[in-house]
Amino acid sequence: MSLNCIKIPHIKDTEDCETIRFPVPETVYIPMSQHMGAPCEPLVSIGDEVRVGQKIGDTDAFMSTPVHSSVSGKVIAIDDYILPNGRTCKGIKIECDGKQTVSEDVKPPVITDKASFIKAVRESGCCGLGGAGFPTHIKLNFDESKTPVDSLVINAAECEPYITSDYREMIENPEDVLGGIKIIQDMLNIEKVYICIEKNKPKAIELLNNMTLQNNSINVIKLSTLYPQGAEKVIAYNATGRIVKEGELPLNQGIIVMNVSTVGFLNRYFKTGKPLTWRRISVDGTAVKSQCNIKVPIGISIYELLKFAECDESKVKKVLTGGPMMGLCVYDLNTPILKTNNAVLALKKDKKTVKTNCIRCGRCINACPAGLMPTELEKAYEQRDIDRLNSLKVNLCMNCGSCSFVCPAKKNLAETNQLAKLFVAKNR
Amino acid sequence: MEKLIVSPSPHIRSGMTTQKIMLNVIIALCPAIIASGIIFGLRAIFLILICVATSLVWETLFNMITKKPNTIGDLSAVVTGILLAFNLPSTLPFWMAVIGTFVAIVIVKCLFGGLGQNFANPAIVGRIVLMLSFTGAMTNWVLPLSLQTADVVTGATPLVSQDAKYLDLFLGMTGGCLGETCALALIIGGIYLVARRIISPITPLFFLLTVEVFSVIVGVDPLYQLLSGGVLLGAIFMATDYVTTPITFWGKVIFGIGCGIITCVIRFYASMAEGVSFSILIMNILTPYIDMITKTKPVGALPDKNKED
């Protein structure tokens, strides 16, 4: 069996753009909620001096990772920040002194056993860097007796158009990628590693293939260039042939899926002790003149980033964080860059589309990687039919957007699925 | 940048639109349109044009009266007009054709909510209504121009006469509805639609295969059954209508087999010579039930809790 998938444009304009460094900014604004899970509480107060890598936010909550300063300078404000989901968290504004003095806390962690390894991963502030931002230490802290894990799947599919930040990680830091894999493999006793790369990145496939020739436990898997290869359940199935069932995590099937940039970061952290304070961002889109891959401190504003990439301000109609299939719209250009961002796209006006009634062509059904029937889900949601939404398994929708992409009637099927999921959850 | 657009993902869409799909169907119908002109003369072309024009007029009028935005831009009315014309003999009085398009567009499509909402194929119902209302005019099977003499203008369809040559049937040089006779033109259109991935070949293949198997079993010449009457037109262009046929693979298989069986039962055992339109209409009505039993199985889904209760 092969899962449904679709062909989408690649537009990997930035694939040959070597990562450049963003100049030290004047200020950064670091929200205490960087990814899924509980927000942190600020550990600093207004007027405090902070240094690069200093922990400035933490919490005792289970689903959380600490936040570190990406610059050296002075805390000038702590206020409420509105998150994209409408909730608020604290945000720390830091005026940079331009020196980028590194904190004395930054030193390589000492790892002796799994417990110290997990603790170190938490202290690094690491979360999944592919976009969803699942705290890494929770993913790795599984109970071998209940859910034994034999496979580590490295997600290097990067199936969204435009984005090349994972690709550049493989090309520029392949040793870090393999080093990170080795640490995780050793600490967690994982037998098999699958590095999954789409065929449209032949250089990365060749490079990692050559570097792992001697290592039988690591396989480089060539995935066909189809969307959504990088979706967690899809890549887990294509690497191992195991289906992650409804309500399960890949863990339940003995699989851990990690983004390639995440393992690369972990290796650098274990070598240097520098926590997660920067991201490689692909800056692209129809309104951007100099497309680039750029290493930016967490907390700079999207406006600064677009300015750096010579974005044509007059033509920008839409700004996205992430790719065009699943990325989120930015409604304020002062929005700071978060740990989970891998791309910023500035787009000109969307093409005008004509909406029609559903003509039951079935393209959405043939596109859905989860085997759902988006057109039937839409009808069920319009009728607010909870039983039917449940029996059609709306909760299995991963919001990949394939149904909306292929729909000739230009319906917002993926959006409807999200509304339906929310509706079902509220009325449970 | 004054204001930014905020919209749900995805932010790119494929180039395929409803209008493009309909345009492709129209392109696929062109070989048969040309063939009908060659075989039955200019009046056939006129009849097609009248059906298309009145279909567009009916839809526009309906939308005006019901104060809805005009939807003729989706081109589905053009497809319906051509398909209905294909099901008419070229001698049919124009005013009867206009009644046919009224039934197809207004009664079958628009009153049910427009494109995508109708449960039966508009062109098929249009044809059936005309057939039952004006049986004489609708069965006035004019012969191809090349076979007409001063005295003989009409004749029986090959389904009734059972004496046509295979080559004549393949090229359409027989009596019949104006769009159904030329197998070659219809097959070219079908291949085009499959190649452009507009239709799935499943339904036509199972429809035609069932007709063949049924014919062999009851001892009728299978190739003759395939090439005569409206089975190719029905299988390629009517049984593949998205709106009124099942949406999943197995649904299409069931639909095709069902159409084939009903067509043969009517052809071989009923008092009518042709059963394609009734077979498709009956299967249209069954489509919601076929859809119900051929739902896709979501990947990794657990058994439905509601059913366990």
CA A112 – CA B280 distance, rounded (Å): 73
CA B100 – CA B107 distance, rounded (Å): 10
Q: Note which residues in 346-405 of chain A have CB less than 8 A from chain B.
A: 347, 350-351, 353-354, 356-363, 365, 369-373, 375-376, 387, 390-393, 396, 399, 401, 404-405
Q: How far is B128 from chain A (nearest CA, A)?
A: 23
- Structural domains in chain A? 114-272 (3.40.50.11540), 363-426 (no CATH)
CB within 8 Å: B296 and A318: no
Model confidence over B173-222: pLDDT tens digits?
888 899 999 999 999 999 999 999 999 999 999 999 999 999 999 999 99
The answer to whether position B165 is within a domain reads yes
Beta bridge partners of A282: A293, A343
Token reading at A77:
């404000």
Mean pLDDT of A13-42: 95
**Res B13: pLDDT:** 94
For B165-297, list the strands marked E by DSSP.
none
Name the percent of chain B lying above pLDDT 70.
Answer: 96
Q: Which of B296, B305, B307, B308 to mutate to test the interface with A (most CBs of A within 10 A)?
A: B296
Mean pLDDT of A332-350: 93
B106 secondary structure, DSSP code: I
Q: Which residues contact B289 (CB under 8 A, 6 or more apart)?
A: none
**Res A314: pLDDT:** 87
Token reading at A50:
């902070």
Q: Are A310 and A193 in contact (CB under 8 A)?
A: no
User: Between A72 and B157, where is the model more confident?
Assistant: A72
Name the percent of chain B lying above pLDDT 90.
Answer: 82
The answer to whether position B302 is within a domain reads no
CB within 8 Å: B9 and A414: yes
Tell me the chain B residues in contact with residue A331 when contact means C-beta distances shorter than 8 Å.
4, 6
The answer to whether position B124 is within a domain reads yes
Sign of the Cα pseudo-torsion (B201, B202, B207, B212, in order): positive
For chain A, say whether B16 makes contact (Cβ under 8 Å). Answer: yes
For chain B, say whether A25 makes contact (Cβ under 8 Å). Answer: no
Model confidence over B100-151: pLDDT tens digits?
999 999 999 999 999 999 999 999 999 999 999 999 999 888 888 877 776 6
A390 — pLDDT class (breaks 50, 70, 90):
very high
Amino acid letter, A46: I
For chain B, say whether A162 makes contact (Cβ under 8 Å). Answer: no
Number of domain units in chain B:
1
The answer to whether position B196 is within a domain reads yes
Model confidence over A143-198: pLDDT tens digits?
989 999 999 999 999 999 999 999 999 999 999 999 999 999 999 999 999 999 99
Mean pLDDT of B247-255: 97
**Res A85: pLDDT:** 73
A345 — pLDDT class (breaks 50, 70, 90):
very high
**Res B64: pLDDT:** 97
The answer to whether position B153 is within a domain reads yes
**Res B305: pLDDT:** 63
The answer to whether position B7 is within a domain reads no
B303 — pLDDT class (breaks 50, 70, 90):
confident
Angle, helices B76-86/B94-102, rounded to nearest 10 degrees:
130
CA B206 – CA A324 distance, rounded (Å): 40
Asked whether the bond before B10 is cis by omega within 30 degrees of 0, the reply is: yes
CA B272 – CA B262 distance, rounded (Å): 12
Q: Are A244 and A233 in contact (CB under 8 A)?
A: yes
Question: What is chain A's Cα-based Rg?
Answer: 21
Q: Flag whether pLDDT at A142 surpasses 80.
A: yes
How many residues would you count in chain A?
428
- Selecting from B18, B300, B302 the residue whose C-beta is nearest the C-beta of A408 gives B18
**Res A311: pLDDT:** 92
**Res B306: pLDDT:** 56
Q: Are B207 and B190 in contact (CB under 8 A)?
A: no
Q: Which of B299, B302, B306, B308 to mutate to test the interface with A (most CBs of A within 10 A)?
A: B299
How many residues would you count in chain B?
309
Task: ipTM value, please give it.
Answer: 0.91
Mean pLDDT of B33-48: 95
In this structure, of A95-99, A312-316, B139-143, B242-246, the range with the lowest mean pLDDT score is B139-143
Q: Flag whether pLDDT at A350 surpasses 90.
A: no
Mean pLDDT of B21-37: 97
Mean pLDDT of A66-90: 91
Mean pLDDT of A90-104: 95
B308 — pLDDT class (breaks 50, 70, 90):
very low
Q: Which residue of B has its CA nearest to A411?
A: B13
* CA dihedral of A380, B242, B231, B175, whole degrees rounded to 10: 130
Helical (H) or strand (E) element with A282: strand A278-284
Instruction: Using DSSP, state whether B128 is helix, strand or coil.
Output: helix
Q: Note which residues in 63-122 of chain A have CB less than 8 A from chain B.
A: none
CA distances from B287 to A385, A387, B61 (A): 21, 22, 30
The answer to whether position B300 is within a domain reads no
Q: Flag whether pLDDT at B61 surpasses 80.
A: yes
**Res B307: pLDDT:** 52
**Structural domain range at position B50:** 18-293
Check which CATH number belongs to the domain holding B114 and give it: 1.10.3430
**Res B198: pLDDT:** 96
The answer to whether position B198 is within a domain reads yes
Instruction: Using DSSP, state whether A55 is helix, strand or coil.
Output: strand
**Res A341: pLDDT:** 95
